[in-house]
Amino acid sequence: MARPIKEGLDYFPFDVDFFSDTKIKVLKAHYGADGITVFIYILTQIYKDKGYYVIADDDFIDVMADDLA
């Protein structure tokens, strides 16, 4: 019996210079640690489900808010 094809990833690489990226520095300056947390949460959801996108509707935002509360 063949193994079912899995969508998404179990892990993804994370750059060691993440905090040196200007975009991340600006995000942190505007929103602090909460901005970084939301960014990483969204990345994990993108790679977990389809591997390259996520549908960010009201339900997604509600679930994210509950998960990060």
* pLDDT surpasses 70 at 1: no
Non-local (6+) Cβ contacts of 59 within 8 A are: none
Q: State the pLDDT at residue 59.
A: 97
Q: State the pLDDT at residue 47.
A: 85
> What is d(CA 27, CA 47) in angstroms, rounded to the nearest whole number?
21
Which tens digit of pLDDT belongs to each residue from 16-66? 999 999 999 999 999 999 999 999 999 999 888 777 889 999 999 999 999
Q: State the pLDDT at residue 58.
A: 97
Q: State the pLDDT at residue 23.
A: 95
Q: State the pLDDT at residue 51.
A: 75
